[in-house]
Amino acid sequence: MILKKYLHQLKTYNLDTLILGCTHYSLLKKIIEKYMGKRIRVFCSSDCATRKLVDYLKRHPEIEQQLEKGDSITFYSTDDPEKFKKLGSLFLGKQIKEVEKVKLD
């Protein structure tokens, strides 16, 4: 398991809390919690970001009028689209059909 490689050393410290700093780590939170054990609490920065966004949108209802309605998802990647499809599908638990490659300057 690749997580073991990265988390093993953390288990040797006397931690009581682990904060997952990147928002995409929330996709791995349950697996990380299981590996780290019940003694260590795991928090995701994405939880805070989500709460802040919901709060902001409640305070600014005019934004909803500017949004497109529908349920389309567009994926963009600076890396190989095929690689993104494979890894992204694993994380999401459903197939990603299309990824647009972008170049950042």
Instruction: Note the Cα 45 to chain centre separation in Å.
Output: 9
d(CA 90, CA 88): 5
Ramachandran angles phi, psi of 34, nearest 5°: -65, -45
For the chain, 105 residues long, give each residue's pLDDT as a single digit of tens.
678 888 999 988 999 999 998 878 888 899 999 999 999 999 998 888 889 999 999 999 999 888 877 778 889 999 999 999 998 888 888 999 999 999 988
Q: How many other CB atoms are there within 10 angstroms of residue 103's CB atom? A: 5
Sign of CA dihedral 77, 66, 64, 72: negative
Instruction: Note the Cα 49 to chain centre separation in Å.
Output: 11
Q: What pTM was computed for the model?
A: 0.57
